[in-house]
Structure 1
Amino acid sequence: MRKHLFILPLIFVLTLYSCKKLEYTSPFVEFIKMNLQTKGTISQPDIGIRYEGEEIPWKNNSLKILAGEGRFEFYLKSNNEVLLDTIINVIPSEDIFYLYQLDPRDIPVIIKDDTKSIPPPPEGFLKIRIANQAKVMFPEGFDVIFHLDLGKGWEPVYTIENVSSKLSDYHIFPKPANGQEYSLSFINSITKEPIKLRNGTAFLGTVGSMFNVGNSTIMSLYLNENARRCTSYSLVGTNGGCYTVDFMFLFKN
């Protein structure tokens, strides 16, 4: 009888160990590799990651995590300051995630390059999404209006509304024909007032051939501003300063 009493606790301990081990070896638990990189002003060696409250290694742009939603904390190793606490949904794919911070004064965000995994647009069309990093010029967000010269001057053909610091949803619209290019204008998303040059006329800027980049049809872009000396009326004037406007590629495929 005493021998049986000794064996029962042993069986109980082994059972607990087996259950705990099941968390890591069960075929129903799917571990995947997450491709996570940095973009902008953030340097990967300076950043630590806690996943579901536990420290995890970040080597060669790779994290080993569970498939599905998980909580990520990104912090500075130097002082343990948490830069971003967020939920990310990760599924097996070719998608690349970026911890992105264009301006050190901004809270970093997670952006996903899904250009290789999403369906392409129809033939002759583009699939585009945009984010706003022109925080002085467009602190409240903006609408971007695409214009084409259809023989009677520049005419609006498509509008993406409420562009903010987060990447918009994808928008599908025609790719310019050979020899054509889009011009862009901007209006305040709230007041609907156009963005103006220093001489008081509405801004209308060409973007050259950036939407005719080889065979690229899926693009993620951000709008950036560059401060300039106020020496020309062709600059955008706002908040007492002068700026040029640039679209920069994040991803394209």
Structure 2
Amino acid sequence: MDRPEHTERNPGADPLSAFERALRDRVPSREALLAEAKAQTARQRRRKQVLGGGLSILVLAAVVWTVDPAWHREDLVTAVGQRDSVALADGSRVVLNSATHLRIERRLRSRQIELVLGEATFTVEHGDKPFIVRSQDVEVLDIGTVFNVRSDSRGVAVAVLEGAVEVSAPQSAPQRLDDGQQVLAHAGRVGEAMSADVERVTAWQHGKLRFDGTPLSEVIADIQRYHAAPVRLADPRLGNLRVSGEFDSDAVESLLDLLPAILPVMLTRAGDGSVTISGR
């Protein structure tokens, strides 16, 4: 009778070892789990950086839009005795008087011009962005108009030829000027609106200086724009003398020579071309 075949076994062998190896192959090791956790953390950090960077860009864009910075500036300057007419990029036009300095600024939310010194007339083309002229500490906001701005030692004079503007200064409430009105702003304050002598305001565009009982101090200020060397009053009280008439702005030397004939004054000319006006 045959005996059943006997199979020898290793008493130290674990019958579950094969299953353990199969399970280990299917379940990641501790090292693999740690590596995956680190990779996921790095991905989350990069995602936050991207989101944070995008948020920063949005915040920066909002700030830039609110502040309305100038991204381009262009200077226009006329010499003594020179006048010029310039078409702006938006279709507006500006006429510059003698010895005038304009700074044109391109901004995101507005059209702005700084009248550093001198005089100019603005004919504004309507647009989506507000049109603002600044000089000294005064702002002139266009409401659809043609207006003249003069800036010198007397302050900032604004005259409306057509339409309306709003004039503001640090120490005054905004003031509306309509067609045919003018105002003088000085030392941070806007004066009272007055009727404008439009022919006198625009006389410079035709090469003329027009005075109608104008104080000599103001006459000298207007002459100075067309005279390279200083013109001075020896006595400030002489500034109250009055001058009337229309004169050629290209011949201010002749006007100066005429003053002793119409006023109780005399002239002293220096070698540098400067003129001193004193009483007789």
Q: TM-score, normalised by structure 1?
A: 0.33
Kindly indicate whether structure 1 or structure 2 has the higher relative contact order, using CA contacts under 8 Å at least 6 residues apart: 1
Q: Which of these two proteins has the greater Rg computed from alpha carbons?
A: 2
Q: Which has the higher helix share?
A: 2
More strand by share: 1
With normalisation by structure 2, the TM-score equals: 0.31
